[in-house]
Structure 1
Amino acid sequence: MPLSGPLYERVASAPPVPAGLPLVIALTGFTDAGGAVSRMIDLFRDDLDPSPVVVFSADVLLDYRARRPAVTFDGDHLVDYRPPRLELSLAHDTLGQPFVLLAGYEPDFAWDAFADTVVGLAEGLQVSSVTWVHAIPMPVPHTRPIGTTVSGNRAELTEAHSVWKPHTQVPATMGHLLELRLSESGHTTAGFVLLVPHYLADTDYPASALAGLDSVSVATGLVFDGDEIREENRDYLAKVDDQVEGNAELTTMLHTLEERYDAYMAGSTQAQPIIHTGDLPSADELAAELERFLADRRDGDDKRGRR
Structure 2
Amino acid sequence: MAQDPEELFEVDSDVPDLSGAVLLHHFDGFMDAGSAGSTLVEHLLSASEHRVIARFDVDELIDYRARRPMMTYATDSWESYDAPELVVHLLYDAIGTPFLLMTGPEPDRRWEAVAAAVRALVERWGVRLTVGFHGIPMGVPHTRKLSVISHATRPELVKEKSPFNRVQVPGNLAALLELRLGEAGHDAMGFVAYVPHYLAQGTYPGASVGLLEAMTTSTGLTIHPAGLQEAANRTNAEITRQVAESAEVAQVVEALERQYDAFTSAEENLLIADGEPVPSADELGDELERFLAEQQRDH
| Superposition TM-score tier, normalisation by shorter sequence | 0.7 to 0.9
2:166 aligns with 167
**Aligned-partner Cα distance in 2 for 1:180–1:84:** 26
**Aligned-partner Cα distance in 2 for 1:193–1:173:** 14
Per the TM alignment, residue 51 of structure 1 is displaced from its structure 2 partner at its CA by: 2.2
1:169-208, aligned counterparts within 5 Å?
A: 169-208=168-207
**Aligned-partner Cα distance in 2 for 1:28–1:21:** 23
**Aligned-partner Cα distance in 1 for 2:19–2:161:** 30
1:232 aligns with 231
Q: Which amino acid aligns with 2:152?
A: G
For structure 1, which runs of at least 5 residues remain unmatched after alignment?
Answer: 298-307
Per the TM alignment, residue 152 of structure 1 is displaced from its structure 2 partner at its CA by: 1.0
**Aligned-partner Cα distance in 2 for 1:89–1:4:** 25
- 1:222 equivalent in alignment to 2:221: yes
Per the TM alignment, residue 266 of structure 1 is displaced from its structure 2 partner at its CA by: 3.5
**Aligned-partner Cα distance in 1 for 2:85–2:298:** 28
1:1-307, aligned counterparts within 5 Å?
A: 6-12=7-13, 14-74=14-74, 77-158=77-158, 160-162=159-161, 164-266=163-265, 268=267, 278=280, 280-281=282-283, 283-295=285-297
**Aligned-partner Cα distance in 2 for 1:17–1:101:** 16
- Contact 1:24 / 1:216 at 8 angstroms: preserved in 2? no
> In structure 2, do the counterparts of structure 1 residues 47 and 250 end up closer, same or farther at CA, with 3 Å as the change threshold?
same
Aligned length: 291
More off after superposition, 182-191 vs 247-256: 247-256
More off after superposition, 76-85 vs 185-194: 76-85
More off after superposition, 177-186 vs 260-269: 260-269
> In structure 2, do the counterparts of structure 1 residues 277 and 178 end up closer, same or farther at CA, with 3 Å as the change threshold?
farther
Per the TM alignment, residue 49 of structure 1 is displaced from its structure 2 partner at its CA by: 2.6
Q: Which amino acid aligns with 2:280?
A: G
For structure 2, which runs of at least 5 residues remain unmatched after alignment?
Answer: 272-277
- Contact 1:131 / 1:219 at 8 angstroms: preserved in 2? no
- Contact 1:63 / 1:108 at 8 angstroms: preserved in 2? yes
> In structure 2, do the counterparts of structure 1 residues 270 and 67 end up closer, same or farther at CA, with 3 Å as the change threshold?
farther
Q: Which amino acid aligns with 1:243?
A: Q
Over the aligned positions, Cα root-mean-square deviation in angstroms equals 2.7
Per the TM alignment, residue 38 of structure 1 is displaced from its structure 2 partner at its CA by: 1.2
Per the TM alignment, residue 21 of structure 1 is displaced from its structure 2 partner at its CA by: 1.0
Per the TM alignment, residue 101 of structure 1 is displaced from its structure 2 partner at its CA by: 1.8
SS at 1:118 equivalent:
helix
**Aligned-partner Cα distance in 1 for 2:106–2:270:** 36
**Aligned-partner Cα distance in 2 for 1:142–1:294:** 17
**Aligned-partner Cα distance in 1 for 2:64–2:201:** 22
CA offsets, 1:84-136, max 9 Å, x none?
A: 22112321112221112222221111111111111111122221112111211
Larger radius of gyration: 2
TM-score by length of 1: 0.84
Identical residues among aligned pairs (%)? 34
**Aligned-partner Cα distance in 2 for 1:251–1:269:** 21
SS at 2:115 equivalent:
helix
**Aligned-partner Cα distance in 1 for 2:37–2:252:** 27
SS at 2:54 equivalent:
strand
